[in-house]
Amino acid sequence: MKRITTAIFAICVYFAPPSYLQAQESSWTQQSVKEEFRYFGLEDREKDVVPETSVSDLEQKEESKQEANDTYGVDNMYAASAIPPTQKRISNLEDVPEQGQPAVKASDLDLDAIKENFLIFGNITALGSYSALINNSSITGGNVSGYLAPAYKISEKMFFIFLMNGMYNKSKQVYVQDDGPRLSTETRSYSITPTLKYSLSETLSISPSLIYTKSQARQDGTVRWGDDLYDYTEIGGSMVLEASLTNTDEVKRNISLTAQGYHRNYPNYTSLLTLAGFGSLEEREKDFDGFLAMAGYTVSRPLGLSYKLNGNVLYKKFSDKLVENESGERNNYKQKDMVVTLGTNLDYKPMDSTSLLLDLTYIYNWSNQNLSTGTFPANEYTRNYHIYHNLIISPGVEHTMQVIGRDLILKGQYSYSVTQYTGRNAKSDAGVIVGKEKDFTHELSFNATFKFNKELDFLLSSNVQRVRSNMKEETTFRYNYSLFNFSLGLSYSF
Tell me how far apart the alpha carbons of residues 166 and 329 are, in angstroms, rounded to a whole number. Answer: 42
Q: Is residue 159 part of a domain?
A: yes
Is there a contact between 354 and 86 (Cβ–Cβ < 8 Å)?
no
* Contacts of 462 by beta carbon, 8 Å cutoff, 6+ apart: 445, 446, 447, 484, 485, 486, 487
Q: How many CB atoms lie within 10 A of CB 361?
A: 25
Provide the Cα torsion 66, 212, 92, 120; round to 10°.
Answer: 160
* Dmax (CA) of the chain: 74
3-state class (DSSP) for residue 275:
helix
Q: Is residue 295 part of a domain?
A: yes
* Contacts of 208 by beta carbon, 8 Å cutoff, 6+ apart: 195, 196, 237, 238, 239, 240
Is there a contact between 39 and 183 (Cβ–Cβ < 8 Å)?
yes
Domain around 59: 18-493
Q: Is residue 41 part of a domain?
A: yes
**What was the pLDDT predicted at 161?**
94
Is there a contact between 222 and 32 (Cβ–Cβ < 8 Å)?
no
Using one digit for the tens of pLDDT, what is the confidence trace for 219-250? 666 778 888 878 899 999 999 999 999 999 99
**What was the pLDDT predicted at 173?**
61
3-state class (DSSP) for residue 473:
coil
Q: Is residue 11 part of a domain?
A: no
Overall pTM > 0.85: no
**What was the pLDDT predicted at 42?**
32
Q: Is residue 300 part of a domain?
A: yes
Q: Phi and psi at residue 121, in whole multiples of 5°?
A: -100, 150
DSSP string, 32-70: HHHHHHHHTT-GGGGGGTS--SSHHHHHHHHHHT-GGGG
Is there a contact between 451 and 77 (Cβ–Cβ < 8 Å)?
no
Q: How far, CA to CA in Å, does 318 sit from each of 56, 282, 335, 383, 430?
A: 23, 10, 6, 19, 36
Tell me how far apart the alpha carbons of residues 313 and 364 are, in angstroms, rounded to a whole number. Answer: 10
* Contacts of 4 by beta carbon, 8 Å cutoff, 6+ apart: 104, 108, 109, 110, 121, 123, 493
Tell me how far apart the alpha carbons of residues 47 and 116 are, in angstroms, rounded to a whole number. Answer: 65
Tell me how far apart the alpha carbons of residues 441 and 18 are, in angstroms, rounded to a whole number. Answer: 7
Q: DSSP letter at 285?
A: T
Is there a contact between 209 and 237 (Cβ–Cβ < 8 Å)?
yes
Q: Is residue 487 part of a domain?
A: yes
**What was the pLDDT predicted at 230?**
80
Q: How many CB atoms lie within 10 A of CB 453?
A: 8
DSSP string, 398-440: EEEEEETTEEEEEEEEEEEEEEEEEEEEEE-TTS-EEEEEEEE
CA neighbor of 432 nearest in space, from 460, 471, 393, 458: 471
Burial of residue 315 (CB within 10 Å: 0-12, 13-18, 19+) is middle
**What was the pLDDT predicted at 137?**
80
**E strand residue ranges, 23-157:** 118-133, 138-153
Tell me how far apart the alpha carbons of residues 157 and 153 are, in angstroms, rounded to a whole number. Answer: 8
Q: Is residue 8 part of a domain?
A: no
CA neighbor of 198 nearest in space, from 162, 163, 159: 159
**What was the pLDDT predicted at 248?**
94
Q: How many CB atoms lie within 10 A of CB 460?
A: 17
CATH assignment at residue 23: 2.40.160
Is there a contact between 122 and 8 (Cβ–Cβ < 8 Å)?
no
Each residue's pLDDT, cut to its tens digit, for the chain (494 residues) gives 334 333 333 333 333 333 333 323 232 223 332 333 333 333 332 223 222 323 233 333 333 333 333 332 223 222 223 323 222 222 222 222 333 344 566 666 766 666 678 889 999 999 999 988 888 888 888 999 999 999 999 998 999 999 999 999 887 665 555 554 455 578 899 999 999 999 999 999 999 999 999 999 886 667 788 888 788 999 999 999 999 999 999 999 999 999 999 999 998 887 655 665 555 567 788 899 999 999 999 999 999 999 999 999 999 999 988 888 887 777 888 999 999 999 999 999 999 999 999 999 999 999 998 887 776 665 778 888 889 999 999 999 999 999 999 999 999 999 999 999 999 889 898 888 899 999 999 999 999 999 999 999 999 999 999 989 998 887 766 788 888 999 999 999 99
Half-sphere exposure (Cβ direction) of 327: Cα atoms closer than 13 Å:
3
Is there a contact between 263 and 235 (Cβ–Cβ < 8 Å)?
yes
Count the domains in the chain.
Answer: 1
CA neighbor of 190 nearest in space, from 167, 172, 211, 223: 167
Amino acid at the residue 49 = V
Tell me how far apart the alpha carbons of residues 324 and 326 are, in angstroms, rounded to a whole number. Answer: 7
Q: Is residue 9 part of a domain?
A: no
Using one digit for the tens of pLDDT, what is the confidence trace for 337-380? 999 999 999 999 999 999 999 999 999 999 998 887 776 665 77
